[in-house]
Structure 1
Amino acid sequence: MTEIVARNPAGVFPPYAGYAHSVEVPPNARTLYISGLNGYESDGATMPPDFAGQTRLVWQHLGTILSGAGMGYDDLVSLRFFLASAAHDPENVAILKEHLGDHRACRTVVVQQLLEPDWLIEVEAIAARVDEPAAR
């Protein structure tokens, strides 16, 4: 089976806070592109007022979407975080590590005003999985 490989080549600064500079996805992998997720509850109208609450809901939604495609957090190859404040980054990294452990994906963090004033985080993701070939 061909694997998805995180690559951190010599000559580039060491990745900090647990990410990979690049991830190589083989041509036989299934890919899943996930739109920006925010911290709305399943009712689509309410959300926790705090960053941790919203972020944990984003990870819950992300896990549900991945599961629906037969994937999990270990299949994430790229994450893009949009934070309403740079002050949230340390907590974001801590919650990310709770979900990914030693798994490394590419990651970008952007600090900007989000679409709705109550949103404190939005996350886009790409996942890829190489499935075992069917038995003959």
Structure 2
Amino acid sequence: MPIVSHNPPELFPPYRGYSHATEVRGDSRLLVISGLNGYLADGVTLPESFQAQGDLIWQYMGALLRSAGMDYGHLVSLRTYLADPADDEANVQLRLKYLGGHRPSSTVICCRLLDPRWKLEVEAMAAT
């Protein structure tokens, strides 16, 4: 199942770790991942740092992808909610760390999150 990035020259250059649009062609399976936060496995403890929460979120996403027979390369869309816009660069670095050269469609929204301790929340879609 081909996944094709679309970054036509009529649009502004895509940001790092980003594609303007991602197309899934042919018969496929779609995995929709709910917003993930950085709680530890006990569901109560939350690391204080952005980096620690972000690494947990990406590791959880990896586990969900594997449970569906997928990996990070199957991601076609990401939506990240940041509690503080100052964490944008750290968020970009997390995407680059876990995605390497893979560039799914991506949106970052700065907003107040449900729990004031959350630094970020990430939802995703993956396809095969």
Note whether the superposition's TM-score is higher than 0.5: yes
User: What residue identity is the alignment partner of 2:5?
Assistant: A
Q: Which runs of 5+ in 1 are unaligned?
A: 130-136
Is residue 2:5 matched to residue 1:6? yes
CA distance in 2, matches of 1:96, 1:24: 20
CA distance in 2, matches of 1:120, 1:18: 20
Deviation at 1:29, TM superposition (A): 1.2
TM-score (norm 1): 0.92
Write out aligned runs for 1:56-71 (5 A).
56-71=55-70
1:73-111 C-alpha deviation (Å, 9 max, x unpaired):
000000000000000010110111010010010000000
CA distance in 2, matches of 1:76, 1:21: 14
CA distance in 1, matches of 2:91, 2:127: 23
CA distance in 2, matches of 1:22, 1:47: 33
Is residue 2:116 matched to residue 1:82? no
CA RMSD of aligned residues (A): 0.8
CA distance in 2, matches of 1:15, 1:104: 10
Q: Which residue of 2 aligns with 1:134?
A: none
Q: How many equivalent residue pairs?
A: 128
Deviation at 1:24, TM superposition (A): 0.6
Q: Which residue of 2 aligns with 1:133?
A: none
Q: Secondary structure at the match of 1:87?
A: helix
Q: Which residue of 1 aligns with 2:21?
A: 22
Deviation at 1:116, TM superposition (A): 0.5
